[in-house]
């Protein structure tokens, strides 16, 4: 199993550490869909009991990253095209609304932090780093809306599609296009144009979905 072993035998938050490590490995594609998550093996890797491992897997199942299968137990969840389209349709509804409400509350610090994420997106060729910077860019802009429930829902939706997005973006070679869309969104925010920021965000999500669907269909 592609996980970095950590000795957490004396750590109070063992379940959180296992959860974070498994979530990261799934999102970054180190654990592919269908991979069994054997509690005994994971417990040995982290030098802990099965109890925190069971709790971590349960939390991952709540996020939709893990599924329970008959005769196999817990496995890394997959995503079919219908589910993918539904997730992106949901994002295209909620994220434009969030950024629209965020723009009037954005200050210079928020814009500068988002800009630093954008510069990182432009300078990296690492798909894992790009994915983290991409999420950081959007999250920093959305934070000004002060809608934590919405942000949590967006984060959960991103968890489900993130590993597919990273892989598809590298295969398609559309990194420059995606970065140009990020810049346009940032500029609309800097200009205080909430409606424009919402429109560009919706288009960005729709384009990402189209590219990902095409990539998944090509692989089949």
Question: How do beta strands 66-69 and 73-76 pair?
Answer: antiparallel
Nearest by Cα to 175 from 126, 218, 117 = 126
CATH number of the domain encompassing residue 64: 1.10.10.10
pLDDT at 126: 78
124: left (phi over 0), alpha (psi -120 to 50) or beta: beta
**Same domain as 132, residue 101:** yes
Residues 6+ apart with CB under 8 A from 80: none
State pLDDT tens for residues 36-82. 999 999 999 999 999 999 999 999 998 888 999 887 789 998 888 99
Q: State the burial class of residue 195 (Cβ atoms within 10 Å of its Cβ: 0-12, 13-18, 19+).
A: exposed
**Same domain as 114, residue 137:** yes
State pLDDT tens for residues 85-100. 999 999 999 999 999 9
Whole-angstrom distance, CA of residue 91 vs CA of residue 153: 9
Q: Is residue 57 part of a domain?
A: yes
**Same domain as 163, residue 178:** yes
CATH number of the domain encompassing residue 161: 1.20.120.530
Domain that holds residue 60: 14-76
**Same domain as 102, residue 50:** no
Q: Is residue 1 part of a domain?
A: no
Token digits for 176? 């420059």
**Same domain as 138, residue 86:** yes
Q: Is 0.75 topped by the overall pTM?
A: yes
pLDDT at 85: 94
Token digits for 97? 């609304």
Q: Which residues of the chain have pLDDT under 50?
A: 10
Q: Is residue 3 part of a domain?
A: no
Q: Is residue 5 part of a domain?
A: no
| Count of structural domains, the chain | 2
Q: Is residue 178 part of a domain?
A: yes
Q: Is residue 18 part of a domain?
A: yes
Q: What's the start-to-end Cα distance of the chain, in Å?
A: 25
Whole-angstrom distance, CA of residue 87 vs CA of residue 64: 12
Q: Is residue 205 part of a domain?
A: yes
Q: Is residue 110 part of a domain?
A: yes
């Amino acid at each position: 199993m592609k996980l970095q072993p950590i000795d957490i035998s004396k750590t109070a938050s063992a379940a959180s550490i296992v959860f974070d490590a498994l979530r990261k490995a799934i999102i970054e594609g180190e654990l592919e869909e269908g991979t069994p998550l054997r509690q005994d093996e994971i417990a040995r890797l982290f030098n802990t009991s099965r109890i925190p491992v069971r709790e971590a897997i349960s939390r991952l199942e709540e996020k939709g990253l893990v599924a329970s299968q008959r005769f196999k137990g817990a496995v890394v969840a997959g995503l079919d095209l219908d589910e993918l389209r539904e997730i992106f349709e949901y994002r295209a509804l909620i994220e434009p609304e969030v950024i629209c409400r965020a723009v009037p509350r954005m200050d210079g610090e928020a814009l500068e932090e988002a800009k630093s994420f954008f510069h990182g997106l432009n300078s990296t060729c690492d798909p894992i780093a790009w994915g983290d910077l991409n999420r950081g860019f959007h999250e920093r802009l959305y934070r000004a809306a002060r809608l934590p429930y919405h942000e949590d829902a967006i984060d959960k939706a991103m968890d489900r599609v993130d590993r597919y997005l990273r892989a598809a973006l590298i295969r398609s070679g559309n990194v420059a296009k995606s970065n140009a869309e990020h810049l346009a969104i940032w500029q609309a925010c800097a200009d205080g144009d909430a409606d424009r920021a919402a429109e560009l965000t919706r288009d960005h999500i729709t384009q990402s979905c189209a590219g990902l669907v095409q990539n998944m269909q090509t692989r089949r």
